[in-house]
Copies of this chain bind each other. A is one copy, B any other.
Amino acid sequence: MKTAVFYGVEDLRIEECATPEASANKILIKIDACAICTWEQRVYTGVKKVEYPFIGGHEIAAEIVDLGSEIDQKNWKIGDKVVFGTNLACGNCEFCKSGEEQSCQDFNHSKHLEGLPHKGMGGLSEYMLVEPKHLFHYYNVTPEEAAFTEPLSCVVHSCETADIHYGDLVVVIGCGIMGQLHVALSVKSGATVVACDLNEERLQLAKENGARYVINSGTQNLKDEVARISHGLGANVVFDTTPIASVVEDSVSIVGNTGRVILYSSFYPDEPVGFSPDQLHKGSYSIRGTANSNSRDFIRASKMISERTIDMRPFISEVVTFDDVEKGFKSAIKGDKYRVVVKF
């Protein structure tokens, strides 16, 4: 089979390796589609450091092609359409065993997965050998849409962390694809959504995704606008989907009493953020982190995509063949697209 391997900054090569075989409690899947996440883009550009060689790809839709002998054939059949994930967690720690794999003590993007020639998440390969606990069925939709299960599952986790109530005022800061998914899911939480970005085109898209208000923070005063829209109460929820530490302080400045500021993104660089403990105490608001997703989130995302509760098609900016994977990366890092999806 073929797999796409990072050998250095902007050095991505397709190479041949042995196709793994199903046995015991393992299932062989053939990858149908793998979306190119910002994480892999950062590996490609060198912002994110990994040990080379490294196989990327973790937004994966696939088909079952073979079953190990111990696999329960009532649940898993050859030809089943599935998404794959949650396998970067250790599976052994208290968080994993409590169903909180997203907060695993030993989360590892660089495992050496059985059946692959190198370390890495492995989705940019034709086949993967996986355990059934990391597979989730999907229905009705295309593999390109299903490949969004992993990113949507992370947004499910984020929105549940935010504890959104009907009628809440939710501000989403940053309108890249993860911001847009936050907009779309917050709308599907009964909230009034305010999208904030510097880019008018992205704000227009946020409106199409259901944002009721948009704020261009280049030309408008964020705090004044939120005060106006909220009748002086501040936001109930602020999602910071940017990697910029100083935006955290902006986020805290617009949250209202009892509100929740959610830090969704990794920070590059991770500079310290300051806040007033007395104001946080008196306003009884909170600052909450969210990262990754767990099996329950995967199931919820997979059901929402399968039933097109949120339609993923507008988020597919470009589809490339596996042979054109590097072209896909070059296109993705331009930053003017949502997702580029590799179709196998």
Binding site for B on A (CB under 8 A): 24-25, 72, 75-76, 90-95, 97-100, 102-105, 107, 132-133, 136-137, 139, 156, 159-161, 165-169, 185, 187-192, 212, 231-233, 245, 248, 257-258, 263-267, 270-291, 294-296, 298-304, 307, 309
Q: How far is B231's CA from A298's CA once the two chains are assembled, in angstroms?
A: 17
CB distance from A253 to the nearest CB of B (A): 13
User: A92-B132, A105-B233, A276-B272 in contact; A188/B161 too (CB < 8 A)?
Assistant: no
Residues of B within 8 Å of A212, CB to CB, are: 307, 309
CB distance from A262 to the nearest CB of B (A): 9
Q: Is the CB of A309 within 8 A of B191?
A: yes
Q: Is the CB of A274 within 8 A of B272?
A: yes
- With beta carbons under 8 angstroms apart, the residue of B190, B296, B303 that contacts A304 is B190
Question: Copies per complex?
Answer: 4
Q: Is the CB of A289 within 8 A of B286?
A: yes
Task: Show 12 A/B contacts (Cβ-Cβ < 8 Å), sorted by A.
Answer: A25-B25, A91-B133, A97-B298, A105-B257, A189-B189, A189-B190, A271-B277, A272-B274, A273-B274, A275-B275, A281-B291, A285-B289
Q: Is the CB of B284 within 8 A of A167?
A: no
Q: Is the CB of B166 within 8 A of A188?
A: yes
Q: Is the CB of A273 within 8 A of B277?
A: yes
Q: How far is B187's CA from A32's CA once the two chains are assembled, in angstroms?
A: 30
User: A190-B189, A296-B99 in contact; A286/B287 too (CB < 8 A)?
Assistant: yes
Residues of B within 8 Å of A160, CB to CB, are: 166
Q: How far is B196's CA from A179's CA once the two chains are assembled, in angstroms?
A: 35
Residues of B within 8 Å of A132, CB to CB, are: 91-92
Residues of B within 8 Å of A288, CB to CB, are: 280, 284-288
Among residues of B, the one whose C-beta sits closest to the C-beta of A212 is: B307
- With beta carbons under 8 angstroms apart, the residue of B92, B137, B276, B298 that contacts A75 is B92
Residues of B within 8 Å of A92, CB to CB, are: 72, 75-76, 132
Residues of B within 8 Å of A169, CB to CB, are: 303
Q: Is the CB of A185 within 8 A of B156?
A: no
Q: Is the CB of A192 within 8 A of B303?
A: yes
Residues of B within 8 Å of A283, CB to CB, are: 103, 289, 291
User: A98-B295, A133-B97, A295-B98 in contact; A287/B287 too (CB < 8 A)?
Assistant: yes
Among residues of B, the one whose C-beta sits closest to the C-beta of A103 is: B257
Among residues of B, the one whose C-beta sits closest to the C-beta of A191 is: B309
Q: How far is B25's CA from A95's CA once the two chains are assembled, in angstroms?
A: 20
Q: Is the CB of A275 within 8 A of B278?
A: no
Q: Is the CB of B102 within 8 A of A99?
A: no
Q: Is the CB of B100 within 8 A of A300?
A: no
CB distance from A38 to the nearest CB of B (A): 14
- With beta carbons under 8 angstroms apart, the residue of B76, B97, B258, B307 that contacts A299 is B97
A-B residue pairs, 5 tightest by C-beta: A99-B99, A167-B303, A270-B278, A286-B288, A167-B300
Residues of B within 8 Å of A280, CB to CB, are: 263, 287-289
Q: Is the CB of B99 within 8 A of A301?
A: no
CB distance from A107 to the nearest CB of B (A): 8
